Chains A and B, each alone.
Chain A
Amino acid sequence: MTDLLKIEDLKVHFPIKKGILARTVGHVHAVDGVSFSLEKGETLGIVGESGCGKTTAGMAVMRLTPPTAGKVFWKGEDMEGMRPGKLRSLRKEMQLIFQDPYSCLNPRMTVNQILSDPMDVHGKYPGRERADRLAFLLETVGMRPEQGKRYPHEFSGGQRQRIGIARALALDPTLIIGDEPVSALDVSIQAQIINLLQRLKKQFDLSLIIISHDLAVVEYLCDRIVVMYLGKVVESADFASLYSDPKHPYTRTLLSAIPVPDPFRKKERIILQGDVPSPINPPSGCRFHTRCPDRMDVCEREEPVMKTFGPGHRAACHLYGKN
């Protein structure tokens, strides 16, 4: 079975321009050699802290940010060589949900216009079918069809996020990429959106990529998880082995750092020193060595390679020997 989506050694570097001649003085290594794949019907989580490149990786998959190097395969086909027309028709198969439900909807358009926009662009559901389609989309995300005549400001954050999801569904996509889809929402609303995403995934046989910093949400939603640090994948595994047996010290730190809503549980918290280093001049060797609690001499010099620990469980760390 071919993967729905396969990413190989993806790199996205942003040039830093300075001076009146706008000369390039350096690069932000936002994504620096990331590989992962996604099977049909799977939910993949990309986790990491701010600045680790998880959003950029998501954007590069959709080619909203052109990758500097590396390949993205959609159903086995390289997206690099595709004609613009082909790429465009492919985009309707992948849709995005954004973090901030306040800034991702045009305030001057009604909900129906917002939902119609992608269908107009791709010429889907024209004419008489349109009204039915709009009503169907709104009902699917738990809203009433007559609410389509209203403007975004008339809705709460949770409802706006539902509108954003309805828009993503408008073109019958195969893949939906959610960039922090619940982070901006209140706790009681988060559960509504998480449950909605799970329901839609079943109903429309969707594949999902959830980009998030919230490891609890990702555990709940995802089948497989990729942990990123400073533009690199440090560990990837199915959810059960990642949470029960994390290999990379960074994954362990992340898991131990999350406050658990249980005052009876005594936790050993690993506290890291300092902040995430700048992606302009990432540290030599293993990028985590400046903050790693298990640092060794070799970490500073050599970059660790990915090692396999079990079916689908891979991590890049010198702790586990050379090969």
Chain B
Amino acid sequence: MCHLCNVFALFSKAGDMGKNNTDPLLSIQDLNTWFFSRKGTAKAVNGVSFDLAAGQVLGVVGESGCGKSVTAQSVMQLVPDPPGKIVSGKILYRGKDLVPMTREQMRHIRGNKISMIFQEPMTSLNPVYTIGDQISEMFTLHKGCNKRQAMAAAADMLQKVQIPAPHKRVHDYPHQLSGGMRQRAMIAMALSCDPEILIADEPTTALDVTVQAQILDLMLALKEEYNTAIQMITHDLGVIAEMADQVVVMYAGRVVEAAPTKNLFSSPLHPYTKGLMASIPVLGERTKGQAKGLTEIPGMIPSLYDLPKGCRFVNRCPHAFDRCKTQEPELSRADAGHDVRCWLHSQGEVTP
């Protein structure tokens, strides 16, 4: 990285260090992001709360339509408006609420302090600019580097994400790179300003398994180096088990379970979480003669325009009883650090 950028980075780090050391880095509190359309109101994110601590990997699991990507877009203030709108709730980054911020204020944070990588690297990179142009923009915009310095810094970043011949590759266009390389380039772009938070939305879903292993490895190594907190959004429980320290399970716009990764996998509480775990074939089980047969979760995710009255999982739940049909459970503490939204486990106190 160029000299100037280093100095800048040092200053900004030192400035941030002093305040709010005890608070979580990112705290989402009772977030509601709704979409208003002719069909009605889709409450894509409906009262979601969770925290992300510095240096932590938080996994957000759920199927399509559960609101995991919209939560991430809300943090980045990238929800298309209209039809979407953050209706209520707070997104506190180092104690400052991002929701009421102006575009100008947000621009200093987005990409700089909080950055994001997407599932489809081809659609998120601009095809008419070179990789180098797109990465160096980060340095000219956020670090005040001049063009030449920025281009050199971009090549440095490509080197960091292990792209061979980075000084040649900066002049390549996205279509000249393979899928794995594009994802690396996007990670390079996302990490170029030393963000404190990296939001990764299905970063490896579109990649082959050997390339996925490379990218996950790279993300963990970069996390160690820069102490970046990662919010990892995925539907793949395998990726969660390998990467995350803490997991949030979402279903139809709600957090239904939140726990440290090991707790979640050793003792899942919510019937949906249990169902998810029982419905995936696990590598090696059949060979060892341990195949249990896949348990299906019957039915499908309810439409956000037409949610069931009580618990949102009631129509697919094998344990549903009368109360589930009429009243929705709160997210409550079931065990140390283990929260669940289910009437089967709601004896404990309600988490604030």
Contacts and interface: CB of A to CB of B under 8 A. Distances in A.
Given A220-B291, A243-B287, A258-B238, 19 more contacts: A49-B208, A49-B210, A186-B63, A191-B296, A192-B296, A216-B280, A219-B283, A239-B287, A244-B288, A254-B209, A258-B283, A259-B243, A260-B238, A261-B240, A261-B282, A263-B242, A267-B242, A272-B210, A275-B180
A188 interface: yes
A260 B286 contact: no
Contacts of A156: 300
Contacts of A190: 279-280
B281 A217 contact: yes
B287 A188 contact: no
B63 A276 contact: no
16 contacts: A187-B63, A187-B235, A187-B280, A188-B279, A191-B278, A191-B294, A194-B281, A216-B282, A216-B283, A219-B281, A243-B286, A254-B210, A264-B262, A269-B217, A271-B214, A276-B208
Interface of A: 49-50, 156, 158, 186-192, 194-195, 213, 215-217, 219-220, 239-240, 243-244, 253-264, 267, 269, 271-272, 274-276
Interface in B16-65: 63-64
The interface centre, meaning the residue of A186, A243, A271, A276 with most chain B CB atoms within 10 A of its CB, is A186
A259 B241 CA distance: 8
Given A213-B209, A257-B212, A276-B208, A195 B280 contact: no
Interface of B: 63-64, 164, 178-181, 208-214, 216-217, 235-243, 261-262, 265-266, 275-288, 291, 293-298, 300-301
Contacts of A216: 280-283
Contacts of B240: 261
Contacts of B214: 271-272
A271 B213 contact: yes
A289 to B, nearest CB: 15
Contact of B281 (A49, A186, A220, A240): A220
A276 B242 CA distance: 24
Contact of A275 (B211, B212, B237, B300): B211
B302 to A, nearest CB: 11
Nearest to B218: A271
Contacts, number: 132
Top 5 A-B residue pairs of the complex, sorted by shortest distance between their CB atoms: A259-B238, A220-B281, A191-B279, A257-B213, A243-B287
Given A190-B279, A257-B209, A259-B216, A240 B287 contact: yes
Contacts of A186: 63-64, 235, 301
Given A191-B295, A244-B287, A262 B282 contact: yes
Most buried by A among B180, B262, B287: B287
Contacts of B283: 215-216, 219, 243, 255, 258, 260
B266 to A, nearest CB: 7
B276 A187 contact: yes
A86 to B, nearest CB: 39
A239 B286 CA distance: 9
A262 B282 CA distance: 9
A263 B261 contact: yes
A195 B265 CA distance: 23
A43 to B, nearest CB: 12
A271 to B, nearest CB: 6
Contacts of A259: 212, 216, 236, 238-239, 241-243
